[in-house]
Structure 1
Amino acid sequence: MKKKTETAETLTREERQVAITLRSARDVLGEIETHRATLSDERQNHQVRRDAKHDLIDASERLCNLLGLAVYQIANSPDGAFQARMKALMDDLRTRLLDMGTSLMFEKMSRIKSRAEDVLESNSYPIGLAAKLDMAFSGILDNLKTLGAFDRLKDDQQGLVEATGQDIRSLIEIEQDLGIMREIKQSKKA
């Protein structure tokens, strides 16, 4: 126990922040593994598994946020040896999360794409939906970048990213064409 205290006392404030952030990230990763085990347990009823899936997605997003913070903290640490140790821990966390989280993020992206396609095909455009879908899509892209997964996407995943982005851009253009701003401009001209 004394060794742990001595180690904690020799760390700078910034190093302690990184250590706390990474410890929190490991804790969230444990939550993710628990939720994933619940999801894969066929004996669980549908509601329990659905709740676990939502909890898993939420925990994955929290983990991505923690990893993003840790990346920032590590990059701003002046101690090169400390940076190297922390980057090794980050790589381990990223690899584990990447394996678990990427497929869930792409499931969420598929739902975003399906919603955008449904609206585009129906010719009924709920105002504000494009912004909502764009925000969710951007969040997924940010999480993938944080994990370092964006550069390692498979062809089908890259295709989904491109198609989803295009569908959302189409919705944004339609909303802009149908939106209030266009009506205001026309009434001012009259």
Structure 2
Amino acid sequence: MVGIVAGRIKEKFNRPALVAGIVEGVAKGSGRSVPGVDLGAAVIAARQSGLLKTGGGHAMAAGFGLVAENLSAFHAFLDERLVQASALPSATDLTLEAVLAVAGADAGLAEMVSKLGPFGNGNEEPLFVVPRVRVVKSERIGKDASTIRVMVEGEGGGRLKALLFRAKEDELASALLRVGGAPLHLAGYLRAESWNGRVSAGFFITDAAPA
């Protein structure tokens, strides 16, 4: 029954919804999500943190069980995780060339990519995805503050400088400016940058999605 109710709430408001019933101090419930918000991952993370006694699911649906007195803490946990995910732009189709680890996004690879050019019609610049990174530093730069410069850290270590040009006051900018938030998948171009004779790798962001 709780799953049916959660599904109807989700359909009405187009937002993730969770519903629980409480019996003898134990809350058991079910949730339904929307595209782009991985509810199952959030519930599993809550279980791993010790908030839940049971919990699991997949991107679009999840089930959970917990001591009723932990409901407020569970609510706060989901607020922090899902609000950020919901703040990102709606999913769009992207043609990605490859998955790129932060540690592998170095100057050598960037120079190899540049040798595939010149890019244009018939020879599109390769678009990469850098998965599950966390923003460790972020700032707006430039005369009109229209560029966002971030430093991201990968799961396997390493850091990568990334830029978003012509940043608007939108959900993508908000997600990139949120330091220390939930992990993100970044899509963009890897390019070689030269400064004072030194070549480094730069990642130029085109889109992002919750990890």
TM over 0.5: no
Hey, which of these two has a bigger chunk of helix by percent? 1
TM-score between both structures, scaled by the size of structure 2: 0.26
Question: With CA pairs under 8 Å and 6+ residues apart, which has the higher RCO, 1 or 2?
Answer: 1
TM-score between both structures, scaled by the size of structure 1: 0.28
Hey, which of these two has a bigger chunk of strand by percent? 2
